[in-house]
Amino acid sequence: MTKTYQFPENFLWGGATAANQLEGAHLEGGKGMNLADVMPGGKIRFKLISQLGFDFEIDKNKYTYPNHDAIDFYHRYAEDIALFAEMGFKTFRLSIAWSRIFPNGDELEPNEEGLAFYDRVFDECLKHGMEPLVTISHYEMPLYLIKEYGGWRSREVITFFERYAVTLFNRYKDKVKYWLTFNEINGATHMPIFSLGFSPATEEVRLQETFQGLHHQFVASSLAVKACHEIIPEAQIGCMLLYAPVYSFDANPVNVLHAMKEEQLFNYISGDVQVRGEYPAFTKRYFKENNIQIDMQEGDLETIKQYPVDFISLSYYMSRTEKKEKTPEDMIEGNIMAGVKNPFLEASDWGWEIDPIGLRISLNQLYDRYRVPLFIVENGLGAYDTLEEDGSIIDDYRINYLRGHIEAMGEAIEDGVELMGYTPWGCIDLVSASTGEMSKRYGFIYVDKHDDGSGTLERKKKKSFHWYQNVISTNGKEL
């Protein structure tokens, strides 16, 4: 007999997206250009994400820019939200494009047309009984802030971000009760350009500049938490971590220690600062040994201490395996967070190792360390889908992936973890962040749009649409 799992009565089932990956209409409604608008699609994208010294001075005629049109959610949001409602979503995670609200980023007054757009989107969600879960910043910093201020290198950006966040809280205080500050904030060490809006010029300055930029974001995030609690006392605001537990390749203590250090660096600095309100003890030695001197202003550490987040949200796609001495042949290819190949795991077509047990481990680790509620706001399988002649899409591989991860969540809840909800990534097919292409699909809803820009944009329900609908209506009892 298959086991059934007990999810809390008010569990927030839903799906997740980000503005730059689905809205399109990149120059409509008074929106300014942002980071995603200048990130080309295709193989070059993957290179640029992790490359040092990326300055956007590339030959623009050589590339495509799929984020410009994306899947046109800007005009089709009502149809899409109705489909989410049909699946039974209790919540819908989306982000606000900063440059729709402040086109350059440093203006004093917001763009009314941008604010009005999200009013319409939130009203549509609420009409269907769906709670909006809003990421304030998801890889879409206004380009002007990047070019004129150097992105999060600059301390001044804290003020602009705070103004932006306060504007959102005031405007949407009656509509939005769940907020997230920075998407995958800890990803900055692997994908600086996405998270920080700049990429350090050389290896020598990489760590110094990355942690300085992160420090600015930590302060900005705390100020957003403060403002959120003041303006919307009943709201909850969380941080967002890119979480991948780090396994040692074997039982050699040298490798175990190495994996532990990677785990500390990648998984715990951002969590400790935003939840415990302090830099973890190990950073003292790490910063010293790596010549990192964070320029802090008086009051920064107090601000961080005083305004921790209410909950932790995380993306979970894979685990990572590490050993101290490795050769290129040891590595798993295609993954942004390079690690060595784990012989026990299968990988997706993009080299992301599939590991549902790793999710249970992650949830236990996070809950043990922080004791605040957790929310999985991204998880899923990027895959090539085939549109059959009769118009159907039989995505059993996606169903199997999600089933395994939902079972792991059920186990973690039995372990004692407090889990608020689950919003699988890309609930409707959208532009991939790492490839900038459409062919890496995550959705329950297929969108007729292709890597070369062609397609009717028609939406079609995949097999997983009906499967997930049943998961939600049985509150996770039928998987």
CB environment 315-339: b (16+ within 10 A), e (fewer): bbbbbbbbbeebeeeeebeebbbbb
The interface region with ligand BGP, picked from 100-108, 276-284, 408-416, 432-440 by CB under 6 A, is 432-440
Considering the rule CB under 6 A, would residue 195 count as an interface residue with ligand BGP? no
Considering the rule CB under 6 A, would residue 434 count as an interface residue with ligand BGP? yes
CA gap 234, 320 in Å, rounded: 37
Report the residue number, 304 or 433, with the smaller CB distance to ligand BGP: 433
**Kind and range of the H or E run holding 129:** none
Q: Any idea what DSSP says for residue 331? A: B
Contacts for 20 with CB less than 8 Å, ≥ 6 apart: 34, 35, 36, 37, 67, 70, 95, 97, 138, 139, 140, 431
Q: How far is the CB of 179 from ligand BGP (least distance, A)?
A: 16
The interface region with ligand BGP, picked from 63-71, 210-218, 411-419, 429-437 by CB under 6 A, is 429-437
**Kind and range of the H or E run holding 389:** none
Other residues' Cβ atoms within 10 Å of the Cβ of residue 386: 9
CA gap 319, 365 in Å, rounded: 13
Helix, strand, coil shares of the chain, percent, nearest 5, are 45, 15, 40
CB environment 53-75: b (16+ within 10 A), e (fewer): ebeeeeeeeebbbbbbbbbbbbe
Q: How far is the CB of 183 from ligand BGP (least distance, A)?
A: 5
Report the residue number, 315 or 362, with the smaller CB distance to ligand BGP: 315
Q: How far is the CB of 266 from ligand BGP (least distance, A)?
A: 13
* Binding-residue pattern over the window 298 to 337 for ligand BGP, x denoting contact by CB under 6 A: -----------------x----------------------
Report the residue number, 115 or 214, with the smaller CB distance to ligand BGP: 214
Report the residue number, 18 or 220, with the smaller CB distance to ligand BGP: 18
Q: How far is the CB of 432 from ligand BGP (least distance, A)?
A: 3
Considering the rule CB under 6 A, would residue 425 count as an interface residue with ligand BGP? yes
Among 23, 378, 411, 437, the active-site one is 378
What tokens does 269 get? 């600095």
Pairing mode, strands 236-242 and 178-182: parallel
* Binding-residue pattern over the window 260 to 299 for ligand BGP, x denoting contact by CB under 6 A: ----------------------------------------
Considering the rule CB under 6 A, would residue 382 count as an interface residue with ligand BGP? yes
Considering the rule CB under 6 A, would residue 433 count as an interface residue with ligand BGP? yes
Question: Which has the closest alpha carbon to 314: 364, 410, 240?
Answer: 240
The answer to whether the CB of 70 falls within 8 A of the CB of 18 is no
Question: Which has the closest alpha carbon to 471: 419, 405, 411?
Answer: 405
- Residue 107 appears among annotated catalytic residues: no
CA gap 149, 104 in Å, rounded: 11
Report the residue number, 349 or 368, with the smaller CB distance to ligand BGP: 349
What tokens does 420 get? 């608020």
- Give the one residue of 183, 270, 319, 423 binding ligand BGP; rule: CB under 6 A: 183
Report the residue number, 212 or 335, with the smaller CB distance to ligand BGP: 335
Report the residue number, 93 or 258, with the smaller CB distance to ligand BGP: 93
Amino acid at 447: V
Contacts for 455 with CB less than 8 Å, ≥ 6 apart: 438, 447, 448, 449
The interface region with ligand BGP, picked from 250-258, 337-345, 428-436, 469-477 by CB under 6 A, is 428-436
The interface region with ligand BGP, picked from 141-149, 298-306, 362-370, 433-441 by CB under 6 A, is 433-441
Q: How far is the CB of 364 from ligand BGP (least distance, A)?
A: 22
Other residues' Cβ atoms within 10 Å of the Cβ of residue 364: 16
Please provide the DSSP assignment of 117-169 as one string.
Answer: HHHHHHHHHHHTT-EEEEEEESS--BHHHHHHH-GGGSTHHHHHHHHHHHHHH
Q: How far is the CB of 85 from ligand BGP (least distance, A)?
A: 23
Q: How far is the CB of 336 from ligand BGP (least distance, A)?
A: 8
* Binding-residue pattern over the window 3 to 42 for ligand BGP, x denoting contact by CB under 6 A: ---------------x------------------------
Which residues sit at the interface with ligand BGP, rule CB under 6 A?
18, 183-184, 242, 315, 378, 382, 425, 432-434, 440
Active-site amino acid positions: 378
